[in-house]
Chains A and B, each alone.
Chain A
Amino acid sequence: MTSAESRFHPDRAARRLVGPIFGAACLAATCTGVLALVILLGAIVAAALQGPPHNPWYALGPNLRELAGLVQKLALGVQSSNPARAGYRVGLAGSLWLLGLVAVVGIPIGVGAGVFLEEYAPPGRLRRIVQTNIANLAGVPSIVYGILGLALFVRAFGVKAVALGPTLLAGVLTLSLLILPIVVITTQEALRAVPRSLRQAALALGATRWQMIRDHVLPSALPGIMTGTILGLSRAIGETAPLLMVGAAGSLLQAPKGPLDRYSALPVEIYNYAKEPDTRFQMVAAGGILILVALLLTMNAAAIVIRNRFRRYD
């Protein structure tokens, strides 16, 4: 009989070594991301602070004040050929309009589709096909959605009576299509994560499927659904290409007053300023990016707050 000593080769030294190496590799990967982000933000802030008065980089107070002044000026000014006066008021208003309307149009449709596919659709080949196609749609480049929006909403395949033209509504519908796959997929994943025991408990009491979904499944899945929704909206607000396709105006002096007005959007205006040959516009573009980033961070913060509120017991 051989002893356990001879049958096992524990090799502890090597095993002890592998763990920390793997950990270090993961740490390095994390640092790469963080580093890139810090450099990027630093570069943007530096670009935004290019103009006079040239404070040294370590003068935090004056720099912050300068930045705040710059952002304020940019948020209030409108499109102009003079970089000292140029701003994003119209684009910012357009982006907020887009955000609100996409939330109203795209999210109910996306969440509804996710609930149907996960909770109601009978499992089978048809469901699998639909499912796969939605997953594929999530990877379609956004410019393709722009072309789709152009044909479908702006021109309505040439049917003049229903063609929307380059209006805010056409942009909203296009962006809603764009975020639909993300919202559907994350909704489904959130629903799938609801434990089966919870569903069984509800049904065993004589609940209908709807009562179970309304009172248990949706509340448990809500944090996940919110995450998907915010992800979708964040994507929508940062998109440029599809909006260029469906006719968001680059130089507009009036913010839209309703869904059928012409509109512009923050990223579209940033893109236009960044194209200008005059280097002083780079500062304007960088400031616009800061506004956009601030907007996205605010949205994510809001998402986290809402998520935590819903996680509480009622």
Chain B
Amino acid sequence: MSTPVDPGQRHPAAQPPELDPVVLSALGLSVWYGQTQALRDITIAIPRNKITALIGPSGCGKSTLLRCFNRMNDLIQGARMGGEIRFDGDVISGDIDAVVLRRRIGMVFQKPNPFPKNIYNNVAWGARINGYRGDMDELVERSLRRAALWDEVKNKLHRPGLDLSGGQQQRLCIARTLAVEPEVILMDEPCSALDPISTARVEDLMDDLKNDYTIVIVTHNMQQARRVSDLTACLMLDDAGQDGHRTGILAEFSPTDILFTNPKDPRTEAYITGRIG
């Protein structure tokens, strides 16, 4: 069961906007790469069936935070994590089986990365290795439809996925993620390699997926954050210590319309109005 978490007592920056059912939450999360700290004391509660955007200047740790949620950060040599992450009430930051977790929390990457296989197998592979027992053809079609790609590829399912355009490839990657039926989809700048039309299609798609999935999206595009997200978290770099290193912190987490119209944190305001970052 998911429980409403109110971590705001300890961490004023993370006041949850409403008492939505929380699906993913971080409590005092810190991340180090070797000796350098990339994130400090992040506390954030991500509500179910909403789109949460992560914004902030380059290098403030948005991708790092996202990768912590499905433990992809474990793959980076020297990465360490402190604090706690919960998913559906269970602690997932400790000694857990990341393989099981990653099926439930999918990820779409910045650069489209289809497998060097045909379109059909790109979608079917994830389901197959997770022991899917149903009708595979049906699953592939349903996933491609949900990713708004079916009509473009239905006659060439056995063509290589890499022969598609960049925007189609990214939707193929989304279809591939949907096929393993995750609960949360993490997207790291999914549109940064796409043209405005493909971007619009992916954004429409996210809006449509919101009913069934929880989406966390990193974006550098303020307009995109405003258009698609329900909530926005603005990460920042703290003031440099004596070694000149700056660590990522969570400056503000609010409903998107509030954050962009009436930011409480002066650094957030400076960032979204383009004065820093």
Contact = CB atoms under 8 A, between A and B. Distances in A.
B113 A201 contact: yes
Contact of B113 (A200, A211, A314): A200
Given A204-B72, A208-B99, A314-B121, A197 B129 contact: no
A203 interface: yes
A95 interface: no
Contacts of B107: 200, 204
A197 B113 contact: yes
Given A123-B77, A203-B102, A206-B100, A216 B129 contact: no
A205 interface: yes
B116 interface: yes
Contacts of B113: 195, 197-198, 200-201
A207 B115 contact: no
A313 B116 contact: yes
A38 B121 CA distance: 48
Specify which of A123, A198, A201 lies most central, judged by the most chain B CB atoms within 10 Å of its CB: A201
Given A204-B107, A313-B160, A198 B99 contact: no
B177 interface: yes
Mostly, the A contact residues are helix
Interface in B94-121: 99-104, 106-107, 109, 111, 113-118, 121
A261 interface: no
Given A203-B102, A204-B70, A314 B118 contact: yes
Interface in A211-233: 211, 215-216, 219-220
Contacts of A204: 70, 72, 102, 106-107, 109, 177
Interface string B221-233: 0000000000000
Specify which of A204, A205, A211, A215 lies most central, judged by the most chain B CB atoms within 10 Å of its CB: A204
Interface in A35-70: none
Given A200-B75, A220-B116, A206 B121 contact: no
Contacts of A200: 72, 75, 107, 109, 113
B125 A197 contact: no
Given A197-B111, A200-B109, A206 B180 contact: yes
Nearest to A209: B99
Interface string B64-83: 00000010100101000000
A206 B130 contact: yes
A205 B72 contact: no
Contacts of B180: 205-206
Contact of B129 (A123, A211, A219): A211
Nearest to B107: A204
A200 B129 CA distance: 15
B62 interface: no
B173 interface: yes
Interface string B165-176: 000000001001
Nearest to A208: B99
A68 B15 CA distance: 88
A215 B125 contact: yes
Contact of B118 (A123, A201, A205, A313): A313
Given A200-B72, A220-B116, A313-B118, A206 B111 contact: no
Interface string B19-53: 00000000000000000000000000000000000
Contacts of A202: 115
Interface in B116-149: 116-118, 121, 125-126, 129-130
Contact of A206 (B126, B160, B173): B126
Interface in A297-313: 313
A34 to B, nearest CB: 35
Contacts of B129: 205-208, 211, 215
A205 B176 contact: yes
B116 A205 contact: no
Interface in B219-262: none
- The 8 A-B residue pairs whose C-beta atoms are closest, nearest first, are A206-B103, A205-B126, A197-B113, A204-B107, A206-B102, A313-B160, A201-B113, A211-B129
5 contacts: A202-B115, A203-B75, A204-B70, A205-B180, A206-B103
Interface of B: 70, 72, 75, 77, 99-104, 106-107, 109, 111, 113-118, 121, 125-126, 129-130, 160, 173, 176-177, 180
Given A201-B109, A208-B129, A215-B125, 19 more contacts: A200-B72, A200-B75, A200-B107, A200-B109, A200-B113, A202-B115, A203-B72, A203-B75, A203-B102, A204-B106, A205-B103, A205-B180, A206-B99, A206-B126, A206-B129, A211-B129, A313-B117, A314-B118, A314-B121
